[in-house]
Amino acid sequence: MRFPTPLIPARLVRRYKRFLADVELEGTGEIVVAHCPNPGAMLGLADPGMRVWLEPNDDPEKKLKFGWRLVELPGGHLAGIDTSVPNRVVGEALAARAIPELAAWEGIRPEVRYAEKSRVDFFLSGAGKPDAYVEVKNVHLRRHGDLAEFPDCVTARGARHLDDLAAMVGEGHRAVMLYLVQRSDCARFDLARDLDPAYGAAFDRARQAGVEAICYGTDITTSGVVFGPPIPVLA
């Protein structure tokens, strides 16, 4: 997935109201408001003074002319903060048959309604195969070494998705929770059970019911984000 418009650097002044951020553009020093496409806590990724990368736009229908996309990390690493990116990255990978666990399914449909009040990120179908329900979660929390964690705050919606996937397995389908690590400094994945014990419990129920859990990394540059190598799941 390539960014449609070249990104420009800035310094974060503050993030507020979850979806807004004041940033100082490099070179001009101008303070502008950028859209922050992330409802989560963004622990360690929203500290004032961090260097960030913005995508400008000239769409007259958009009130904000900048969208926050990346954060620079120590050691030359990057983290993506746009929670819409993982579905686009995984969608491209599914179409390219780049996910070994899911490469055998020919039919790929995004955002399909299922269960009582959910939409699955991807519904996969294929002749002679059980339907596969694939939920994608964005991962960008790192607190210990090279360990990526999810979630970064309480997510009742995420727990519901796990229970919905477990129900699909009970009906004879396949269900996969795919965690996509949108930062370049992690090599392992686990649950942040201390931040959301209820999500951890839902994960355990889902696994016991037969829901699969897989994790992949991403290759991130200021040009785009692409599907990366597998990352071991410790949970």
Give the percent of the chain with pLDDT over 90.
94
How many domains does the chain divide into? 2
Helix (H) or strand (E) holding 121: strand 118-125
In tens, the pLDDT along 103-145 reads 999 999 999 999 888 899 999 999 899 999 999 999 999 999 9
Domain boundary among 27, 59, 80: 80
pLDDT classification of 60: cutoffs 50, 70, 90: confident
**Measured between alpha carbons, how far is 105 from 93 in angstroms, rounded to an integer?**
12
What global pTM score does this model have? Answer: 0.95
**Average pLDDT of the segment spanning 48-56:** 98
pLDDT given at position 115: 84
Pull the structure tokens for residue 196: 């959301």
Are 226 and 136 members of one domain?
A: yes
pLDDT classification of 189: cutoffs 50, 70, 90: very high
pLDDT given at position 66: 97
> Per the domain annotation, does 2 fall within a domain?
no
Name residue 147's beta-bridge partners: 144, 188
pLDDT given at position 117: 80
Residue 210, sorted as left (phi over 0), alpha (psi -120 to 50) or beta, turns out to be left
Are 193 and 215 members of one domain?
A: yes
- Residue pair 174/132 in contact (Cβ under 8 Å)? The answer is yes
pLDDT given at position 59: 80
Q: What is the residue-averaged pLDDT of the chain?
A: 96
Could you tell me the residue range of the domain that residue 55 belongs to? 8-80
Are 65 and 102 members of one domain?
A: no
pLDDT given at position 80: 98
Torsion, Cα of 16, 160, 234, 95 (10° steps): -90
**Average pLDDT of the segment spanning 186-197:** 98
Q: How many angstroms from the chain centroid is the CA of residue 39?
A: 12
**Average pLDDT of the segment spanning 204-226:** 98
Whole-angstrom distance between the N-terminal and C-terminal Cα of the chain? 29
Are 62 and 167 members of one domain?
A: no
